[in-house]
Structure 1
């Protein structure tokens, strides 16, 4: 094999690595286990490939538990009306989404309702989730 061919193949394989690393909804979340979380925003991570909303939820026994809610990509959220100012820490929210398969305090968010009643769609299309809006 010529060195040019080897370099070309190596470049193609390296560029494909991020595609292999990306997960599908069904790999991590249970589409049959829809949950509703009511809590207070602790922080929002605007990172790729998915943004994360961290909320503090009061358990039945009164203890606070931090949940991590996976959202769509930041660019998709911005196109759907999200802003960095729309989800500040301390705001009460209701999150409808799907529980992680491993039972961790992690969910894939679909719909977020803010304390003022404003609803934000949190997902990204084409994930394989059972409930997707346009």
Structure 2
């Protein structure tokens, strides 16, 4: 059966539209630093890893931080892509649950901490003193010296 050129063009346009929508789904979920985090709200978190989500476009390190009056609060710390973290030296073995560490970063604009506090992590310091950059480059995060790709004045 021969189809009209208009019908063929409509089908091609529909398929192309669906392909583009599917391809940009991940990009739509990605964000610039300033869209979610506050560059004027630095945090220093001392605690231990509870879990790590090795997912794109950003890995998440969950850290239990002791509260002054007792108990803990869980922070979800956004890092770069899993590949970026691996290239920086962070692996499933170095970020096992129970690993004590210090995270330097910036709190989310939503300070409610419900269901968890969120921060963008700039670097992790392990108990042996090793410091590893965990942020993502080029996202508008403050130039705080953590990103090894930043030019120094």
TM-score by shorter chain over 0.5: yes
Other-structure match for 1:126 = 138
Q: List 4+ stretches of structure 1 deviating above 6 A.
A: none
Other-structure match for 1:54 = 62
Tell me if the contact between 2:122 and 2:134 (Cα under 8 Å) persists in the aligned partners. Answer: yes
Which of the pair is proportionally richer in strand? Answer: 1
Other-structure match for 1:43 = 51
Structure 1 regions of 5+ residues with no counterpart?
none
Other-structure match for 1:109 = 121
Q: Taking structure 1 as the reference length, what is the TM-score of the superposition?
A: 0.91
Separation in 1 of the partners of 2:34 and 2:129?
30
Structure 2 regions of 5+ residues with no counterpart?
1-5
Separation in 1 of the partners of 2:64 and 2:17?
47
Please tell me the root mean square deviation across aligned C-alpha atoms, in Å.
1.5
Computing the radius of gyration from Cα coordinates, the structure with the larger value is 2
Other-structure match for 1:14 = 22
Q: Taking structure 2 as the reference length, what is the TM-score of the superposition?
A: 0.80
1:72 matched to 2:80: yes
**What SS does the aligned partner of 1:5 have?**
helix
Shift of 1:10: 3.3
Tell me if the contact between 2:123 and 2:132 (Cα under 8 Å) persists in the aligned partners. Answer: yes
